[in-house]
Structure 1
């Protein structure tokens, strides 16, 4: 007895074997995907860990934030706590985004925030002094910085050091959060 070979069938595009939930297996796959199955998880992108780039970004942010903070102080003739928070956070954010999760970056950011707040306060003092004396800002700040520092020392109060601490904390926490 001879058996007849059935004619070739086109591939099915609908349900397999009458099962509406079954899916066709891709070419080369031994089993069809299970209903409700998800793609395998994609591993996270490798963390950045470039300390030099993080420090460079933090230094640039510190100089820019110090200048802006000084302009705010010079224009208002007052230290503003939120501005100190902003100085610290911008420095920490720049360090964390550019440098990654290196544990040295939050510490460096905090130290740079202290320097930026101090520099900003000196810029503000110099701006206030130049409004009272017939001297340019550049001449006073770059040639007579000792005079600006003496005036700053006379104006220091406990709140000034609170602003230092706030800025350092904001930089430290900003660097940790930005790297996460």
Structure 2
């Protein structure tokens, strides 16, 4: 026959359980203490109680240790994708700016997202991933501004991009870019750098018991 502790643990999940003062846990069918060997043939699982119960550890996704996450990192892959994203982002910025005739500062926000998510493909958790992501986001913004000014000059003087790149006064061009950055564009640059850093890391579960 099962022990009192085993009966209580078993019957506690039964819809036919009841509690009587002086007796404790009893069976509704008999009004007496449950008595069975191992399994009660009249057991009815209490579905409501199960729904109210807190989740079990096995209900949560499997966590990984920091060492396992580090083993899955691929910095070269992240950098490669982020470099490609930064070049594409800068080209898109310049293309949109030149075609519209407006220097669109908030394009930097999109670049930050693009570079950060591209860097995330390296599945990194170390700070180096965020630092590189932030640096590439900043470089992409600067290149986007630079290509935009080159496009404006090429349009105004009806010359090719190559002529501008070969014959431009880079000190004057740098001065124009600094004036532009010193305006509200600097705020967008800052947002892009923040996004490039923050979004470069792989998503993680909350740390618990030495695991992530």
Same fold, TM exceeding 0.5?
Answer: yes
- CA drift of 1:38 comes to 5.9
Bigger relative CO (Cα 8 Å, ≥ 6 apart): 1
CA RMSD of aligned residues (A): 2.9
What does 1:101-120 correspond to in 2, within 5 Å? 101-120=125-144
Q: Do the aligned partners of 2:115 and 2:196 also contact (CA within 8 Å) in 1?
A: yes
Following TM superposition, by how much is the alpha carbon of 1:127 offset from its aligned partner in structure 2, in angstroms? 1.0
For the pair 1:153 / 2:153, whether they are aligned, the reply is no
Length-normalised TM-score, structure 1: 0.70
* CA gap 1:38/1:167 in 2 versus in 1, 3 angstroms: closer
For structure 2, the residue ranges without an aligned partner over 5 or more in a row are: 1-38, 205-212
Indicate if the aligned counterparts of 2:146 and 2:177 stay in contact, CA closer than 8 A: no
Task: Describe the superposition over 1:91-142 as per-residue Cα deviations: whole angstroms up to 9, x where unpaired.
Answer: 011112333222211111111111111111111111111111131123323x
Q: For 2:63, what is the secondary structure of its paired residue? A: coil
How many pairs align? 152
Query: Aligned pair 1:54/2:73, yes or no?
Result: no
Match for residue 19 of structure 1 among 30, 43, 48: 43
Q: Any gaps of 5 or more consecutive residues in structure 1?
A: 1-14, 23-34
* Aligned pairs for 1:7-86 within 5 A: 17-21=41-45, 40=58, 41-44=60-63, 47=69, 48-86=72-110
Distance 2:171 2:147 in 1: 10
- Find out whether 1:133 has 2:157 as its counterpart: yes
- 1:169 equivalent in alignment to 2:194: yes
State the TM-score, normalized to the length of structure 2.
0.60
